Amino acid sequence: MIKLIASDMDGTLLNGSHEVGKETVQAINEARNAGIEVIIATGRSYKEAVVPLKNAGLSLPVVVVNGAEIRNEKGEQLYQKGLTTQKANEAADALEQLDIYFEIYTEEGTYTNHREHGIQLLIDIFLTSNPDTPLPHVKEEAENRYDEGHVHVVDDYHAVFSSSETVYKFLAFSSKPEKLEKAREVLNNLGGLAISSSGKENLEITSADAQKGIALEWFINQRGIDAEDVMAIGDNYNDVSMMKLAGWSVAMGNAPKDIQEICRYVTSTNREEGVAKAIRKLTEIETKV
């Protein structure tokens, strides 16, 4: 039977308004009341992940920055897998040589060396999952990310690498597919890195030990839960590692076709609260077995 549900956030848990819908909140609470644990697994930093959860009245453990960190409901760190200083420098040098913009995520927050590029990056990522959202609204949300202190502007990333902060992830962006493909090739050749994406115009680079599936496996082992009893819901390539782990893999209706094809089930889109529908359908199936 399903004992734990792991859900991605953007394009999955969150609707077109970047909120957790009322039906989804209700379904999560129904699952928890039935004794099923729920955890969020996202590419976001912890500070950015908890905002929509708090707004929805949800207190849940979270896998953040693609599996580089796990925190419990109180925000206490349970698990951490960062990049070595050497790998961070090597990856940064490679991306800079290819003239690809990127941000870095650390235990102290997110950094950019170009505010306007960062704002445009967030707009493009958001519109990938929510193409019908009005641009002025998306731009306002992106600018708030800086105004509220979620992202810090620095002149030189290498100064951050040489500090005591643990670097979790690089989020690289380009509208040119050939640039991203070249970057993927170069980064793969460095070794020790996991390279995925949350949209067609970005790459997410973490330690090879920092992936959603690896972090989720650690979490369920701590709980004594078998992978066969886990439901994992997602919409993009950085969700694949946890989809392959889980006995009950669910793709969103807005996920690319190749993501849908590797999953056991396909639910509705995030705009149609597909997470709620998946929870209710599959936990009901399990109750009857």
- C-alpha–C-alpha distance, residues 121 and 256, integer Å: 20
Residue 29: pLDDT band with limits 50, 70, 90: very high
**pTM, entire model:** 0.87
pLDDT digits (tens, 9 = 90+) for 66-88: 999 999 999 999 999 999 999 99
DSSP state of 264: S
Contact 27, 274 (CB under 8 A): no
Closest by alpha carbon to 64, among 251, 215, 246, 192?
A: 215
Residue 284: pLDDT band with limits 50, 70, 90: confident
User: What pLDDT, on the 0 to 100 scale, is given for residue 44?
Assistant: 93
Residue 285: pLDDT band with limits 50, 70, 90: very low
User: What pLDDT, on the 0 to 100 scale, is given for residue 286?
Assistant: 45
Domain ranges of the chain: 4-81+211-283, 85-207
Q: Which residues pair with 239 in a beta bridge?
A: none
Angle at 148 between CA 147 and CA 150, to 5 degrees: 105
Q: Pseudo-torsion of CA 180, 214, 151, 116, nearest 10°?
A: 10
pLDDT digits (tens, 9 = 90+) for 163-197: 888 999 999 988 899 999 999 999 999 999 999 99
Cα–Cα separations (whole angstroms), residue 38 to 84, 87, 224, 269: 31, 33, 15, 20
274, pLDDT greater than 70: yes
User: What pLDDT, on the 0 to 100 scale, is given for residue 288?
Assistant: 38
Bigger pLDDT: 143 or 155? Answer: 155
Same fold, 4-81+211-283 and 85-207: no
DSSP state of 14: B
The catalytic residue positions are: 8
CATH of domain 85-207: 3.30.1240.10
Tell me what the mean pLDDT of segment 124-134 comes to.
68
DSSP state of 66: G
User: What pLDDT, on the 0 to 100 scale, is given for residue 129?
Assistant: 60
User: What pLDDT, on the 0 to 100 scale, is given for residue 271?
Assistant: 94
260, pLDDT greater than 50: yes
Of the options 3.30.950.10, 3.40.50.1000, 3.20.20.140, 3.40.50.300, the CATH number for the domain spanning 4-81+211-283 = 3.40.50.1000
Contact 219, 202 (CB under 8 A): no
**Helices 85-97 and 177-190 sit at what angle, rounded to 10 degrees?**
150
Tell me what the mean pLDDT of segment 53-64 comes to.
98
Tell me what the mean pLDDT of segment 226-233 comes to.
98
User: What pLDDT, on the 0 to 100 scale, is given for residue 105?
Assistant: 95
